[in-house]
Structure 1
């Protein structure tokens, strides 16, 4: 199948025909975080044309937006801008905009660039310094995609739309499980911000032992050295442990007992984006002999007083997030907490029997989540295989 350079079938970063007479016209506005790595819009904002016509990237209904900066591009931030609040829009300067011409379907064009193969090639062609690398506009213009007849493009886009819709339904099912647990938590314990049920509060230090993990990059000499799997910050997500990519690290043999995780340990990251403070989950021996790095706190509760599943949800609630936001050190959009702040966290203490009842509900819900996650993985693999076939002109 013939391949055509994008610039031959689409405008790249088109310019707006601006008239000051329309200064008060409302337009759609999309910052970078409005565009999801899942290829959809998270939200839309409204601005006045005069406020954004200079210093932002112009687009309109039906255009394809592609994040050009690392790591947003590699992570898949792109969207087919449909159903905009207003036909004309502006957004982050870190977007490239593609406007389909007569020979290419805009939805098909979106799938050609929202594609793992394209992203890998684009990543290799990025320019700039570390942390500020971008996809050059010339690369995008010259990049060639397979171009079947327009009717065939629409057929391929429809197949991918249907496959993606099935994935999104499964993703929604997983989100509903999270919302269910939040509702159960509030029903059983009340709103912890208000503490309407008057639960006693104690510092986390009184109810658990707290340590950070092993430091990476040490030079080890003497004594017996062993290699163990370990959890990085990327493995500890909000409400689950991601074990898809587990690394190993060398440590002294005598350190294993200090850092080794056991069932019921609560793992919390020390920092990151402010809205992700308090991110963590309970460990359930997913990997044998696993330890954790120093940017992760391990909280081992006294289970005669405090159930780790209850504590995890309490810390992840608005009550917990508000505490960490107040306590954290913040610099240039990054927030961090130290062990002293974590140890001082005021834990509301309902009866242990109620905590344990909640933990049983969490366990049952997590079993359902695992089934959904397995199904979603299979759907993701199928969708990606379709994307690759489409990209190679084989679909």
Structure 2
């Protein structure tokens, strides 16, 4: 059976934040107070990430004429990360930034059912239909209200929500198991080698400049003129999801003309993000590719002294140190001179190889879990499709 399709605007009240003269500026943020919630606070699990909150005073909050959250509100992102959302699960006060909108469901729809609709491929297709192709993705509230929601009875909505919640819990447990393996690997590194900066185990140290050649990437500009080729163009986004060791593919590629203004690296190269919010993490290339000027590359590594995977994990374990070391500015930036002078610990190679064997074992376990996770994701998506088509 199929369900009637009801415009979202008939199922929820849409509430914008106060965008007038009382809208909080960055200068008005305080260390502790009432959360002022922006898109960065929306986690991938449909919850708020309180570690990302900005705060405003009670006085600033009281001056706001709208955009104050309530329990079971859904906060939905209309600009930038369009489609991300979170469900409010407590009675705490909070106000939302201009990129978000509140969906306050009415008596016709169960909020847990609505949550699963917003997370479904059905909603994603609606988003694709209404986004305007601008450089920064955005969706108007008026268009959002037109989204068509399959609407069974409330009893059936609740039954569907329970089934999808249970399936999602299984999916999340697989993801948590993968994250725990990453944590185990980091803990194993610290247990075997200690902190690479304070060096409590007293390992020999050498400047990175003596162990490898450090070079910076380059950026052909404007980059749009050089995209669409066959040479992989490695961006920060290619290194932040899934694999925390290797880069195996890129979303974009540049033309041969762009090679003259960038740096083409062979497979096996170690790269390091040297600026911005991603400063301090490293990856090993499983492909040849070009790097922009936000990357450093480590070449001609003395592999009789330092294994590439050990180098990678050593650098990734002290990300915060590098961020603290970077010169002050709007964007932290580590130049090649700073990296060349950093003293890297050099434990005995047999101990490094013992660690590498552990890395390889954990990578295999992660691969098994990731394949299982893909199967669970496909199952979950199938259940969603059945739920909204009336066949679950």
TM-score tier after normalising by the smaller chain length: 0.7 to 0.9
**1:356: which partner in 2?**
353
* CA deviation vs aligned residue, 1:200-228 (integer Å, no higher than 9, x gap): 33221211123345645699xxxxxx944
What secondary structure sits across from 1:60 in the alignment? coil
* Distance in 1 of aligned mates of 2:341 and 2:378: 44
**2:67: which partner in 1?**
57
Change (3 A) 1:201 1:173: same
1:111 aligns with 2:120: no
**2:86: which partner in 1?**
79
Aligned residues of 2:17 and 2:97 also touching (Cα < 8 A): no
**2:375: which partner in 1?**
378
345-354 vs 240-249, greater mean Cα deviation: 240-249
1:315 aligns with 2:315: yes
227-236 vs 198-207, greater mean Cα deviation: 227-236
Aligned residues of 2:208 and 2:344 also touching (Cα < 8 A): yes
58-67 vs 380-389, greater mean Cα deviation: 380-389
Aligned mate of 1:293, from 269, 291, 294: 291
What secondary structure sits across from 1:93 in the alignment? coil
**1:69: which partner in 2?**
79
**1:279: which partner in 2?**
281
**1:160: which partner in 2?**
164
Q: CA deviation at 1:150?
A: 0.7
Q: Can you give the 5+ residue segments of structure 1 that lack an aligned partner in the other structure?
A: 17-25, 220-225
Q: Can you give the 5+ residue segments of structure 2 that lack an aligned partner in the other structure?
A: 19-32, 224-228
Q: CA deviation at 1:361?
A: 1.2
Aligned residues of 1:213 and 1:291 also touching (Cα < 8 A): no
* Root-mean-square deviation over aligned CA pairs: 3.3
**1:237: which partner in 2?**
240
Aligned residues of 1:13 and 1:98 also touching (Cα < 8 A): yes
* Distance in 1 of aligned mates of 2:63 and 2:316: 40
**2:30: which partner in 1?**
none
* Distance in 2 of aligned mates of 1:144 and 1:375: 33
* Distance in 2 of aligned mates of 1:27 and 1:214: 43
The residue correspondences of 1:133-172 to structure 2 (distance < 5 A) are 133-172=137-176
Q: CA deviation at 1:105?
A: 0.3
**1:222: which partner in 2?**
none
* Distance in 2 of aligned mates of 1:227 and 1:7: 45
**2:302: which partner in 1?**
302
Normalised to the residue count of structure 1, the TM-score between the two structures is 0.79
Q: CA deviation at 1:229?
A: 4.2
* CA deviation vs aligned residue, 1:165-210 (integer Å, no higher than 9, x gap): 1111011111111111121111111223432223333221211123
**1:347: which partner in 2?**
344
**2:185: which partner in 1?**
181
Q: CA deviation at 1:336?
A: 3.4
**1:223: which partner in 2?**
none
Normalised to the residue count of structure 2, the TM-score between the two structures is 0.80
* Distance in 2 of aligned mates of 1:31 and 1:316: 28
Aligned mate of 2:100, from 57, 78, 95: 95
**1:21: which partner in 2?**
none
* Distance in 1 of aligned mates of 2:340 and 2:256: 26
What secondary structure sits across from 1:98 in the alignment? strand
Q: CA deviation at 1:27?
A: 5.6
* Distance in 2 of aligned mates of 1:382 and 1:242: 27
Aligned residues of 2:280 and 2:322 also touching (Cα < 8 A): no
* CA deviation vs aligned residue, 1:230-258 (integer Å, no higher than 9, x gap): 53332223723354655444438x99xx8
* Distance in 2 of aligned mates of 1:375 and 1:234: 24
Aligned mate of 2:202, from 195, 198, 203: 198
